[in-house]
Amino acid sequence: MPKRMTVKIVLAVMTLVLLSLVLPVCAGTQAYPELPLQEMRIAAYTKAFAERFGLPAPPPGTEPSGGLQAIEFAIEKGPKWAPRYYCNFYLYVDSSLPIKYPEEGVAGEKYMLITTTHFFGRAYEQWMEWSLQDRRYSTGLDGKYNRKARMATKNYMPGKQGAISDLDYIEFHKNILPNLDYLKLNFSPFSLMINKVNNGVDIWVQQRGNTDYRSRIKSDSSDFIKFSIPEVVLQKIRQWGNQAKEANRKINAVIRDKSDQ
């Protein structure tokens, strides 16, 4: 083989080796971290719920109470315009509870009301082209799904001890089955008191009344129905919530890198 040809082959091989070392690093810096979402779900339910739907009997000490028939917690990915991980509660409650839902109808979904859902409102510049009346109307509808639920430590006392954070309604359906209402609540891992030592955590949902918490900061516990989160679920919230929080930190770094390019 001619000497010149041998040199070309050696150089080509060296180039391929270098690329094999460099490309994974470059790709890794631009790829969003993937979590095993199919494994990051946990449910707890009452014995009556299990009997009704043919589920395994609940382990001792895991049953919800107070009108909460079942709860599922899951880490899920947000929509394309918000590609981060979020924490979601799926609640199944007694239809007799006097819950103040975001709307008067049988069902509702927040994503329908978010301007970025619609092609003519996906960019801020487009939204600003709307009339002031339309912008105010849209914001008012979207706001109905916010600040109607909370998550708080059992020892929470405003300004004194414990912790509290908001939960947003994503969707709901009254009487999704006879005597069973469905709620989906959402929060970011950043807003969770994940590592705080406490004696348990409750989910608060606002009950019917005249208080509008969209314009009120302090939460009066008497305005809410409280559901205790079973400890088996709370442990997974802490574990998976921390994983989602770290993944979101890396996603934010990738987004910043892309915006700087």
pLDDT tens digits, 164-182: 888 999 999 999 999 999 9
Alpha-helical runs (H) found in the chain: 3-30, 47-53, 124-128, 132-143, 231-260
pTM of the predicted structure, to 2 decimals: 0.80
In contact, 92 and 69? CB cutoff 8 Å: yes
Alpha-helical runs (H) found in 112-178: 124-128, 132-143
Bridge partners (DSSP) listed for residue 166 = 150
C-alpha to C-alpha distance for 98 and 206, rounded to whole angstroms = 9
What's the distance, CA 78 to chain centroid? 8
pLDDT tens digits, 80-137: 767 899 999 999 999 999 999 988 888 888 777 777 777 788 888 887 888 888 888 8
C-alpha to C-alpha distance for 70 and 237, rounded to whole angstroms = 16
C-alpha to C-alpha distance for 195 and 239, rounded to whole angstroms = 9
In contact, 170 and 183? CB cutoff 8 Å: no
Beta carbons within 8 Å of 24's beta carbon, 6+ residues apart: none
* 203-228 mean pLDDT: 87
C-alpha to C-alpha distance for 142 and 197, rounded to whole angstroms = 34
C-alpha to C-alpha distance for 224 and 208, rounded to whole angstroms = 9
| Amino acid in position 139 | T
What pLDDT does residue 260 have?
67
Got the DSSP string for 89-119? EEEEEETTS-B--SSSSSEEEGGGGSGGGST
CB atoms within 10 A of CB 192: 20
Span of 47-56, 151-160, 183-192 with lowest mean pLDDT: 183-192
pLDDT tens digits, 185-197: 998 876 555 556 5
**Domain extent listing, the chain:** 1-31, 35-102+146-260
What pLDDT does residue 169 have?
93
pLDDT tens digits, 68-80: 999 999 999 987 7
150 vs 11, residue with greater confidence? 150
